[in-house]
Amino acid sequence: MRTKLAAGNWKMNGISAALAEIDALKIDFGAPGVEILVCPPATLVDRLSQRVQGSPVMVGGQDCHENETGAHTGDISARMLHDAGASHVIVGHSERRADHHETDAMVRAKTEAAIAADLVAVVCLGESEAERDAGETLAVIGRQLAGSLPDSATAATVVIAYEPIWAIGTGRTPTLDQIAEVHGYLRAELVRRFGAEGDAMRLLYGGSVKPANAAEIFAVPDVDGALVGGASLKAADFGGIIRALEQA
C-alpha cells in the first residue's frame, strides 16, 4: 500500500504572518497512511520547519540548483534546503520549465542533487493545452518522465506529480477518465523501467484541486495524492483536501 501525500505549493506567496495557517494542520490532521507536505517560499523554509516540529507536517522547497555550491547568485542548493529543515523539494514544475527554460536534463540533474542531499524529489510533469488538443499528451509525458528521472530513483526518493499545464490555476480540471489515462500510463512506464520500485512510486495529481473535487479525483486508480497550489494557502481549503485524502 502506497502512503498517500497531500503536498501544498505556495509558489511566490506568503510572508511570516502566513505561517499561522499551518497551525490548524498540525492539530487537526495526521491520519496513518497520509503524509502532509507544505512547500513555502525559500524565505520561510527554516521558520516553518521549526514551527511544525513534532507534528505530521513536513516542509519542502520549491526548487533547487543542481550543484551543491558555487557562483550561482540567487540560487539555493538541495543541501541548503536540507540544512534549513526541508525533507522534500519540488523540481521541474511547469512554471520553472517555462519561465526559466528548464529542460528534462536539468530536472534530472536537480533530482539527482535532491537525492544526494537526502531530500525526496517531487518531480513534475505536464502537457500544454496545445499538446493536449493535438493528441500528444502521452508522448509528452513519456518524454518528460524518461528524461527527468535518473536511474537511481526509488520509491523512497522520488514522487511523481502530473500537472496538466492548462489546469494549473485556471479552475479547469481534466475529466476523471483523462486523469486515469495519464496516471495509468505513468504507472506502466514506471513499472517497465523500475519494476517493483516503479509500482511503489507515488503519483500525485495537480491542477485546480480543491475540496469540492478532491474526493472524486482521489478515487481514480493510481492517484496517490495531490500537489495543490492556491488551495494550499488557507488551512480551511487545504484541510478539506487532506480530509478527502484521508477518507479515500
Residue type, 160: I
Asked about 93 being catalytic, the answer comes back as yes
Are 247 and 32 a contacting pair, CB within 8 Å?
no
6 forms bridges with which residues in the sheet? 36, 226
Of residues 94, 125, 115, 193, the one with CA closest to residue 158: 115
By the 8 A CB rule, do 232 and 238 touch? yes
Query: What letter would DSSP give residue 87?
Result: S
- Among residues 102, 112, 163, 189, the one annotated as catalytic is 163
Cβ atoms of 10 and 40 closer than 8 Å: yes
Cβ distance 245 to 225 under 8 Å? yes
Give the Cβ contact number of residue 98 at 10 Å.
11
Q: Could you report how far apart the first and last alpha carbons of the chain are, in Å?
A: 13
Q: CB 142: neighbour CB atoms within 10 A? A: 14
DSSP 43: G
The catalytic residue among 93, 95, 183, 189 is 93
Q: Which sign does the torsion angle of CA 5, 119, 95, 12 carry?
A: positive
Residue 26: all three cell numbers together: 498540525
CA atoms within 13 A on the CB side of 218: 26
What residues act catalytically?
93, 163
